[in-house]
Amino acid sequence: KSMKILVATEKPFAKKAVEGIREIVEEAGGELVLLEKYTDKAQLLEAVAEADALIVRSDKVTAEVIAAARRLRIVVRAGAGYDNVDLAAASERGIVVMNTPGQNSNAVAELAVALMIFMSRNRFTPGTGSEIQGKTLGIHAYGNVGRLVGRKGKALGMNVVAYDPFLSDPAVFEADGVRRVGSVEELYKTADFLSLHIPATAETKGSIGYDLLMSMPKGATLVNTARKEVIDEEGLMRALTEREDLKYVTDIAAGNQAALDEAFGKRVFATPKKMGAETAEANLNAGLAAARQIVDFFRTGNTRFQVNK
Ligand code: 3PG
């Protein structure tokens, strides 16, 4: 019996990416099952029951989904953040979970730059704005996306500083002409623009709030293309209230976004739907990488990108 690879994407990949995934799967003798734009969890539970492998985006792979997936051996999150997958539930069943690091990073980095310019030009409404050239760009976490934002910031004439608690090799920062700072406090204190690139984990959830925001320079903008969960929303609300010069722009609407929009008008902005990785290129890169990683896993046992080792 041929292996069944389920692509379950509430927010579908571009058509070209799906075609490419199909080619890789069928070439390997597998069968592609496509569940796009599903609206009900029950559809995913039903589809996953027969799947040997699963490709998702931000789709929630909960313990319930894992329990329904009787034959499942591997889940690949086509993208970077895997906070949508219940790793403990997968590990308990011996299911391998992977991501596709770096594959959609440039799309997210370009959006971060776009959001900075958008905010410094009054959200493209009349009136005098400001330039990003000469300003200090702080990058919180210097991974695949952070590095690309850093390099783009340098190219745009920004002074770039970065902090990454898991990256102590100074050469990585030096290679990009980026100044490494030793603490999160030091980073926020100097950043006219602060671009967030931390994952949502038990440690980071709710970690960006009142104190860090209040420490930022006059007129600073917090740019969030990471996850809404890392923000302490109550603290954000309080800081924006007390500091009329601060701005917040995000690709992932806050839980209290309507209240933020209402209270702060042009100083805040959220994209209508998370779109950081929504480019044809990112879809293709991440989608094909996911399919290749699955085929390689079944063929050779390669677990290079496993995140639940
Ligand atoms: C990621 O973690 O890769 C990004 O947040 C993209 O998420 P998406 O596939 O849901 O657009």
Q: At the fourth CATH level, which superfamily is domain 4-103+278-300?
A: NAD(P)-binding Rossmann-like Domain (3.40.50.720)
Query: Could you tell which of 57, 75, 83, 307 is best to mutate to test the pocket of ligand 1, judged by most ligand atoms within 8 Å of the CB?
Result: 57
The ipTM is 0.99
* Per-residue confidence in pLDDT tens, the chain, 309 aa: 789 999 999 999 999 999 999 999 999 999 999 999 999 999 999 999 999 999 999 999 999 999 999 999 999 999 999 999 999 999 999 999 999 999 999 999 999 999 999 999 999 999 999 999 999 999 999 999 999 999 999 999 999 999 999 998 999 999 999 999 999 999 999 999 999 999 999 999 999 999 999 999 999 999 999 999 999 999 999 999 999 999 999 999 999 999 999 999 999 999 999 999 999 999 999 999 999 999 999 999 999 999 999
Give, using CA atoms, the residue closest to atom 9 of ligand 1.
Answer: 57
CB 31 within 8 A of CB 53: no
Q: Is 57 in the pocket of ligand 1 (CB under 6 A)?
A: yes
Q: Is 4-103+278-300's fold the same as 105-270's?
A: yes
Residue ranges covered by each domain of the chain: 4-103+278-300, 105-270
Q: Is 85 in the pocket of ligand 1 (CB under 6 A)?
A: no
Tokens of 193: 């623009």
- Using the mean position of ligand 1's atoms as its centre, give its distance from the Cα of residue 218 in Å: 31
Instruction: Look at the domain 105-270 and name its fold.
Output: Rossmann fold (3.40.50)
- Using the mean position of ligand 1's atoms as its centre, give its distance from the Cα of residue 302 in Å: 23
- Using the mean position of ligand 1's atoms as its centre, give its distance from the Cα of residue 283 in Å: 10
Q: Buried (b) or exposed (e) across 186-207, using 16+ Cβ within 10 A?
A: ebbbbbbbbbbbbbbeeebbeb
- Using the mean position of ligand 1's atoms as its centre, give its distance from the Cα of residue 81 in Å: 7
Q: Is 277 in the pocket of ligand 1 (CB under 6 A)?
A: yes
